[in-house]
């Protein structure tokens, strides 16, 4: 560590101020000599010393006003260089104005121009020298055998992320051998004296040629297809590989590019990471009372985390699962200690209890994530699915309309489209309830639903199941070789749920762009490879058959012609309006769960959901 790093910030500012004062004195002296070379030294000194104190004070005041002493110049970029340029020019303009006002004719245009140019080069050069000296002391003054303490590393990606990563790795004395990048114009260039060795396709040969030990993928915006290709190349080269955080992690988890980690299955999604309009998202949440049901679940918990970052007036976390609610409550208190928050243990099926919550806290916005979601389990327990998913949601919507809250967002699923399962049927019925309440006369609440597919890493989803099976040595169980599902990560799914709430006008069903469906069998293969195992050799796969209520593939809409674009390129809207909402209410009100066996109730719910679905020609 260079000695100046140990000096307090105020001390460093003072040192730089003194150095700049010396630079101003020097530049004005040289400019005076260049302008009046024929004058005797005594006359030059008289002119020079007469104006020097004013010039030094004026320029240093301008430099301070331009905040030249508020930056860590070791991280200086072109932005700071241009700031130096503007500060020096503005200082010269101030001196020129003073010369004009006070009739100082010897401070003519040529002298002032010379002084300005010299000041720019000397002030900028001083900072460049200090930055270079620090880099030399840290990286260049060590013995070659002592300079690096870690493995020979290849950075994949010579863009902004790669440059920042290289800078951080050099500080930690990692031996960065080179970059690879697929832009031909970068071949042969150097970044921090580190060469761009070639393209990503050359990784295997570059690894052999330069004796590389590890690779780091530094392309935060890379698609799953790109990450998968780079992973295969690293595997072919037989070197370990890691990756920097993706864009969603950088935004919502407040990670930095030097938080290098192993590649996760989320990185292999076959599409670009979904982005969100943060300003729009925060506008209807900031300084409002927001209620999240199902706050202890994987989706509900992430909704709470992201909402907390938008500074609501009060965040209400509601769940009937005590342990999960305690954990998310503790997490948010730690991450956002200034956010007002209350955790409520309650079941959405208890109408009186939920009424008490509305009466006590008067929410402005409700995100309804509480639901039973596991398809095979709900096939065996349709009464629970009906009471929680249907009746609980209906009670919540009825209260939202009665209390005239601003926004109600229902979390739905692709399984609500042409449902064959009890869970899918209950969620489709909830969508139609939403449209029913949105269409009520004199309704003051904006009701909307967001429909998306499977979420990677959510509780009970396929990825944790596969990971557990791999840890136990297998076998990995897949229901059918042709089964496909839509996938997205928890943070991007939730960010678009919140975004959709800001776009709603009432009655819409928003559909998130989830890219192409992914084969479950390919997901299992990728996860096996990421675990360092070979399928068929180290671990085996078994096909167990499609479970009750499951379909080989899911759909996000009844008909793509129903879809309309929104102001967000990755959010679409479909109204999917049922032609018989009043009949739906009648059919549901006639159901007495205790009069139905599990099988009959399941069949009845599926029939109602499909009978009330929009017809598709």
Looking at residue 71, what is its pLDDT? 62
Residues 119 and 250 in one domain: no
Match 């479909």 to its residue by tokens.
Answer: 574
Prior bond of 475 cis (ω within 30°) = yes
Average pLDDT, the chain: 81
The band of 141, judged by pLDDT with boundaries at 50, 70 and 90, is: very low
pLDDT in tens, 402-437: 999 999 999 998 888 889 899 999 999 999 899 889
Give me the domain span that covers residue 473.
280-611
Is the pLDDT score of 94 beyond 60? yes
Domain end, chosen from 111, 140, 169, is at: 140
Structure token digits, residue 460? 């009970």
Neighbouring residues of 95: CB distance < 8 A, sequence distance ≥ 6:
55, 58, 59, 107, 112, 115
Contact (Cβ atoms closer than 8 angstroms) between residue 421 and residue 549? yes
CB atoms within 10 A of CB 440: 11
> Angle 267-270-271 (CA atoms, 0-180°, nearest 5)?
90
- 145 pLDDT band, cuts 50/70/90, is very low
Are 171 and 107 found together in one domain? Answer: no
Q: Tokens in use for 138?
A: 């840290």
Two structure tokens written together for 277: 């309009």
pLDDT in tens, 147-195: 445 678 999 988 888 888 888 888 777 889 999 999 888 888 888 888 9
Predicted pLDDT of residue 1: 43
Phi first, then psi: give them for residue 545, nearest 5 degrees: 95, 150
Band the pLDDT of 64: cuts 50, 70, 90.
confident
**Are both 415 and 492 inside the same structural domain?**
yes
41 three-class SS:
helix
Distances (CA, A) of 528 to 99, 531, 541: 76, 5, 10
- Contact 456/487 with Cβ under 8 angstroms? yes
Lowest mean pLDDT among 88-97, 123-132, 378-387, 400-409: 123-132
Most confident of 108-112, 235-239, 511-515, 552-556: 235-239
pLDDT at 242: 85
Tokens for 76, please give them. Answer: 């200086």
Domain termination residue (choose one: 195, 230, 263): 263
The mean pLDDT of 393-407, rounded to a whole number, is: 95
Q: Coil, helix or strand for 187? A: coil
- pLDDT over 60 (residue 127): yes
Out of 75-84, 180-189, 334-343, 582-591, least confident range: 75-84
> Are residues 228 and 171 both part of a single domain?
yes
d(CA 151, CA 212): 8
Alpha carbon distance 292, 328 (integer Å): 12
Q: What pLDDT is stored for residue 263 in this prediction?
A: 65
Q: Which pLDDT belongs to residue 2?
A: 47
Span 567-608, pLDDT tens digits: 777 788 886 666 567 777 777 877 877 778 888 888 888 888
The reported pLDDT for the residue numbered 247 is 46
Q: What is the pLDDT of residue 79?
A: 66
Same domain, 210 and 296: no
The confidence score (pLDDT) of residue 500 equals 83
Does residue 270 sit within a domain?
A: no
Whether 56 and 130 map to the same domain: the answer is: yes
Residue 271 lies in a domain: no
Q: Which among 560, 545, 589 is positioned nearest to 429, based on CA atoms?
A: 589
Residue 237 has pLDDT above 60, yes or no: yes
Last residue of a domain, one of 235, 263, 291: 263
Residues 480, 559 within the same domain: yes
CATH number at residue 221: 3.40.50.720
Give one DSSP letter per residue of 113-172, joined into a string. HHHHHHHHHHHHHHHHHHHHHHHIIIIISS-HHHH--S-EEEEE--SHHHHHHHHHHHHT
Range of lowest pLDDT (154-158, 279-283, 487-491, 528-532) = 279-283
Checking phi first, is residue 135 left (phi over 0); if not, alpha (psi -120 to 50) or beta?
alpha
Q: What is the structure's pLDDT at 401?
A: 94
pLDDT on residue 252: 47
Contact 446, 406 (CB under 8 A): yes
122 and 154 within one domain:
no
Calpha distance 309→292 (Å, rounded): 15
pLDDT on residue 268: 65
pLDDT at 150: 60
Residues 254 and 237 in one domain: yes
Residue 451 lies in a domain: yes
- Highest mean pLDDT among 11-15, 178-182, 531-535, 561-565 belongs to 178-182
Q: Which of 265, 261, 213 shows the shortest CA–CA distance to 237?
A: 213
Residue 123's pLDDT is what?
Answer: 81
Report the distance separating Cα 278 and Cα 235, nearest Å.
Answer: 37
**Amino acid 142: pLDDT:** 45
Instruction: Output the pLDDT for position 274.
Output: 56
Q: Say whether pLDDT at 443 is over 80.
A: yes
Would you report the helix, strand and coil content of the chain in percent, each value rounded to 5? 50, 15, 35
pLDDT tops 50 at residue 485: yes
CA distance 283 to 285: 6
Whether residue 275 lies inside any domain: the answer is no
Inside any domain, residue 124: yes
pLDDT at 617 over 50: no
The dihedral sign for the CA sequence 389, 391, 394, 396: negative
Which tens digits make up the pLDDT trace of 282-326? Answer: 788 999 999 999 999 989 999 999 999 889 999 999 999 999 999
- The string of pLDDT tens digits covering residues 7-55 is 666 777 787 888 888 888 888 888 877 877 777 777 667 766 777 887 8
Is 122 part of a structural domain of the chain?
yes
Q: Is 55 exposed, middle or buried (0-12, 13-18, 19+ CB in 10 A)?
A: buried
Q: 242-285: per-residue pLDDT in tens?
A: 888 654 454 444 444 456 666 666 666 655 555 566 666 678 89
3-class DSSP state for residue 257?
coil
pLDDT tens track for 184-218: 888 888 888 889 999 999 999 999 999 998 999 88
Residue 74: is its pLDDT beyond 70? no
More confident call, 70 vs 336? 336
Query: Is 105 among the domain residues?
Result: yes
Task: Give the pLDDT band (50/70/90) at residue 76.
Answer: low
Please indicate, yes or no, whether residues 406 and 544 belong to a single structural domain of this protein.
Answer: yes
Domain for residue 135, yes or no?
yes
Strand locations in 261-364 (E): 289-293, 314-319, 341-345
The verdict on 219 and 255 lying in the same domain is yes
Where is pLDDT greater, at 475 or 452? 475
Does the pLDDT value for residue 126 go beyond 70? yes
One domain, residues 246 and 294: no
| Cβ-proximal residues to 99 (8 Å cutoff; 6+ apart), any chain | 105, 107, 112
**Percent of the chain residues topping a pLDDT of 90:** 27
Number of domains present in the structure of the chain: 3
């Amino acid at each position: 560590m260079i000695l100046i790093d140990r000096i307090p910030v105020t001390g460093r500012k003072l040192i730089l101020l003194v150095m700049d004062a010396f630079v101003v004195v020097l530049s004005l002296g040289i400019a005076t000599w260049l302008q009046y070379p024929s004058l005797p030294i005594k006359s030059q000194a008289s002119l020079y010393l007469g104006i020097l104190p004013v010039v030094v004070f004026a320029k240093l005041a301008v430099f301070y006003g331009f905040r030249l002493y508020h930056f860590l110049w070791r991280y200086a970029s072109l932005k700071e260089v241009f700031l130096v340029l503007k500060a020096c020019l503005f200082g010269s303009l101030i001196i020129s104005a003073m010369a004009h006002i006070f009739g100082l004719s010897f401070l003519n245009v040529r002298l002032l121009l010379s002084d300005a140019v010299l000041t720019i080069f000397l002030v900028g050069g001083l900072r460049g020298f200090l930055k270079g000296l620090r880099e030399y002391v840290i990286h260049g003054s060590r013995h070659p055998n002592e300079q690096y303490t870690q493995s020979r590393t290849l950075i994949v990606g010579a863009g902004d992320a790669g440059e920042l990563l290289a800078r951080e790795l050099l500080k930690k004395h990692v031996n960065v051998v080179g970059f690879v990048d697929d832009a031909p114009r970068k071949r042969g260039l150097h970044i921090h004296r580190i060469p761009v060795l070639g393209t990503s396709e050359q990784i295997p040969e570059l690894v052999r040629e330069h004796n590389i030990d590890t690779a780091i993928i530094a392309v935060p915006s890379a698609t799953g297809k790109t990450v998968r290709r780079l992973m295969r190349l690293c595997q072919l080269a037989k070197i370990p590989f890691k990756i920097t955080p993706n864009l969603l992690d950088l935004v919502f988890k407040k990670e930095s590019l030097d938080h290098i980690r192993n590649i996760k299955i989320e990185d292999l999604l076959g599409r670009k990471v979904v982005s969100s309009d943060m300003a729009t998202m925060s506008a209807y949440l900031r300084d409002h009372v927001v209620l999240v049901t199902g706050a202890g679940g994987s989706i509900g918990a992430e909704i709470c985390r992201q909402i907390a970052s938008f500074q609501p007036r009060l965040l209400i976390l509601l769940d009937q699962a005590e342990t999960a609610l305690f954990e998310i409550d503790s997490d948010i208190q730690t991450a956002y200690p200034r956010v007002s928050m209350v955790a409520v243990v309650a079941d959405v099926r208890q109408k009186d209890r939920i009424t008490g919550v509305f009466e006590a806290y008067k929410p402005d916005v409700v995100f309804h994530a509480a639901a039973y979601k596991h398809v095979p389990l709900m096939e065996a327990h349709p009464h629970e699915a009906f009471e929680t998913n249907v009746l609980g949601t209906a009670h919540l919507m009825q209260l939202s309309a009665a209390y005239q809250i601003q926004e109600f967002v229902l979390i739905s699923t692709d399984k609500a489209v042409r449902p064959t399962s009890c869970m899918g049927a209950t969620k489709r019925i909830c969508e139609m309830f939403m449209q029913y309440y949105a269409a009520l006369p004199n309704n003051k609440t904006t009701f909307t639903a967001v429909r998306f597919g499977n979420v990677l890493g959510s509780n009970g989803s396929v990825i944790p199941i596969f990971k557990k099976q791999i840890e136990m040595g297998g076998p990995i169980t897949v229901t059918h070789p042709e089964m496909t599902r839509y996938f997205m990560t928890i943070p991007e799914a939730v960010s678009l749920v919140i975004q959709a709430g800001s776009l709603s006008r009432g009655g819409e069903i928003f559909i998130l762009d989830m890219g192409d469906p992914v084969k479950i069998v390919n997901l299992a293969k990728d996860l096996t490879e990421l675990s360092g195992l070979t399928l068929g050799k180290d671990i085996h796969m078994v096909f167990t058959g499609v479970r009750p209520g499951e379909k080989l593939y899911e759909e996000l809409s009844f008909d793509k012609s129903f879809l309309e674009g929104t102001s967000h390129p990755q959010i679409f809207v479909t109204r999917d309006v049922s032609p018989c909402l009043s009949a739906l209410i009648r059919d549901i009100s006639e159901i007495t769960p205790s009069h139905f066996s599990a099988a009959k109730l399941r069949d009845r719910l599926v029939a109602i959901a499909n009978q009330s679905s929009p017809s598709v020609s």
